[in-house]
Amino acid sequence: MREKVIQGIFKVIDDINAQLPEEKRMSKSLDTILIGPMGALDSLGLVNFIVGIEQQMEERFGMPVMLTDEMFKEDSPLQSVEYLAEYLLRLLEVQKQ
For the chain, the domains span 2-96
Render pLDDT for 27-76 as a digit per residue (tens, 0 to 9). Answer: 999 999 998 888 888 888 889 999 999 999 999 999 888 887 766 677 78
Largest alpha-carbon pair distance within the chain?
43
**Reported pTM:** 0.90
Q: Given phi > 0 = left and psi -120 to 50 = alpha, else beta, which region is 94?
A: alpha
Question: What is the number of other CB atoms lying within 10 angstroms of the CB of residue 35?
Answer: 19
Please choose, from the candidates 23, 31, 26, the residue with its C-alpha nearest in 3D space to the C-alpha of residue 48. Answer: 26
Instruction: Report, at the CATH architecture level, how domain 2-96 is classified.
Output: Orthogonal Bundle (1.10)
